[in-house]
Amino acid sequence: MSDTTNLGEWIGNNSVRTIRAQTVTLDGALVGKHLSPKKFESGAQSGWGFADIALAVDLGNTAQLGFDFGDWRGEMHDVFLRPDLTTLSTDASLPGLATVMCDLVDQHGAPLPVCSRSTLARVVKELAELGFTGKAAVEIEATVFDESIEQAREQRFTNLHPLGGTQGAIYLLSRSRDYTTLMDAMAARIERAGIPWEGWADESAHGQIEVNLPPTDILTAADWYVRTKQIMREVAYEHVRSIWFLARWSPDQFGQGAHINLSLQQDGRNAFFDEVEPSRPSETMRNFIGGVLDTMAAASSFQYPTVNSYRRIAEFDGPPTTVTWGVDNKSAASRTSAGVTSFRSSRHFRSVASMSEYSCNSIEHFLSRESDLDQPCEDGVLPAPFRMPLDADDRSPAHLHRFDDTVRSPPAGSEVRAEPVH
């Protein structure tokens, strides 16, 4: 649905009793409100009041009032959740509930600089003005435990048991039946919610899973990522399990990420494919990767949104720790595929599972600066301490072009954010 003309009819035809208006914070947390049909219809164009304090608390619910959110913030007045009606949908597994993705706007309807979704939409528009359309596909990693979330809390998140046991390695098909039962339920629920999926697999850490979503337009890919994670949480809860998207839950287990696969099309053709030299990235792709490398260190402040994110970034432990790219090389931070015209893409391994997909995709799609990929990068190591991404911001005008100054300001008196353990 793209307008409000038949909104009431749509609500009635789908027997909707409640609409969940949702958006994502810069920490990647899904937030929003549940609205009655009458309230939803009344604000379908302007949006609904939303306390901006939701953007100034960490994931431990501690207010970080030192954030400078700019003139729009005023005296902590309300901002607004404005729905993107093209995302309004129902889930056959949740009768009576509809959901809609929202952008954060001010009282005049202007997008807020802290709204990563509208930032991504703006970048997609800029791509179109350059003659490109983009596609993205996301691989979501998570860890599932035998214990329910209530039981895990009672145990203070210690002595937990990964679902499927602790024997074997990646892609093992002999996990216990409760493992496949849960994953079958997740896949079915994702499908009933109108989100296509390509596959799921046992991953390298104990209890770790990976869910693969197919390529689609960039903004939809980010929406699918957010909605799929929420579905996975709900299904785990229904099956009396707990699921975590922590970047790293144990020092002796591999961490988990959100691998982003990206490609660009121009005039109906894959802009990353070079017909003259099929084994090499095209000039467009080289410029694209150059922009990614130039902004990679600064982008870490969004791709590693919490303290726990940095526990995943360790030498010789899977995730890349250097500003690198390569062709079919999984050890590089940015990997390109080669030789296939329709599927050539650029794949990025450094983002953690708890990040905001909107922020990461906004940063990835930087095309306005050409870089010589044959020359070494000035900053060869990705930031490890929390402060380093902020320092890298100051050296990356290309990255700063995408985000308002107020978004990058660290909280006064604090340079870390807490993260819950699930």
Lowest-pLDDT choice from 24-28, 67-71, 406-410: 406-410
- How far apart, in whole angstroms, are the C-alpha atoms of residue 294 and residue 291? 5
Band of pLDDT at residue 343, cut at 50, 70 and 90: very low
Chain position carrying tokens 């890298």: 392
Q: For 335, phi and psi rounded to 5 degrees?
A: -115, 135
Spatial CB neighbours of 10, under 8 Å, sequence gap ≥ 6: 1, 16, 88
151 or 78, which is more confident: 151
Evaluate if residue 36 carries a pLDDT over 90: yes
Q: Is 189 left (phi over 0), alpha (psi -120 to 50) or beta?
A: alpha
Residues, the chain: 422
Lowest-pLDDT choice from 26-40, 143-157, 336-350: 336-350
| Token code pair at residue 76 | 């902590």
Q: What is the pLDDT of residue 20?
A: 97
b or e along 349-359 (b: 16 or more beta carbons within 10 Å of the residue's beta carbon)? bbbbbbbbbbb
Q: What is the pLDDT of residue 324?
A: 82
Amino acid identity at 93:
S
Q: What is the pLDDT of residue 380?
A: 65
Q: Are 226 and 94 in contact (CB under 8 A)?
A: no
Chain position carrying tokens 């210690």: 158
Q: Quick one: the chain helix, strand, coil %, rounded to 5?
A: 30, 20, 50
Amino acid identity at 69:
F
- Tell me the average pLDDT of the chain: 79
Numbers of helices and strands, H then E, in the chain: 11, 16
Average pLDDT over residues 26-36: 90
377 or 173, which is more confident: 173
Report the chain's C-alpha Rg in angstroms: 21
Q: What is the pLDDT of residues 135-175, one digit of tens each?
A: 999 999 999 999 999 999 999 988 999 998 887 678 888 77
298 or 199, which is more confident: 199
Evaluate if residue 178 carries a pLDDT over 90: no
Angle of CA points 380, 386, 387, to nearest 5°:
80
H/E element holding 50? strand 48-51
Q: What is the DSSP letter of 206?
A: T
Query: SS3 of 67, please?
Result: coil
Lowest-pLDDT choice from 196-210, 221-235, 298-312: 298-312
Q: What is the pLDDT of residue 248?
A: 83
Lowest-pLDDT choice from 21-30, 177-186, 306-315, 408-417: 408-417
Q: Which of 137, 106, 140, 134 is nearest to 121 (CA)?
A: 134
Q: Is the four-CA dihedral 382, 385, 387, 391 of positive or negative sign?
A: negative
**Could you tell me where the DSSP H helices lie in 193-282?**
218-238
- How far apart, in whole angstroms, are the C-alpha atoms of residue 229 and residue 139? 11
Spatial CB neighbours of 51, under 8 Å, sequence gap ≥ 6: 76, 78, 79
What are the structural domains of the chain?
7-114 (3.10.20.70), 131-403 (3.30.590.10)
Q: Are 44 and 100 in contact (CB under 8 A)?
A: no
| Token code pair at residue 167 | 């024997």
Q: Which of 173, 211, 157, 204 is nearest to 189 (CA)?
A: 211
Q: What is the pLDDT of residue 45?
A: 93
Evaluate if residue 241 carries a pLDDT over 90: yes
Q: What is the pLDDT of residue 366?
A: 46
Band of pLDDT at residue 422, cut at 50, 70 and 90: very low
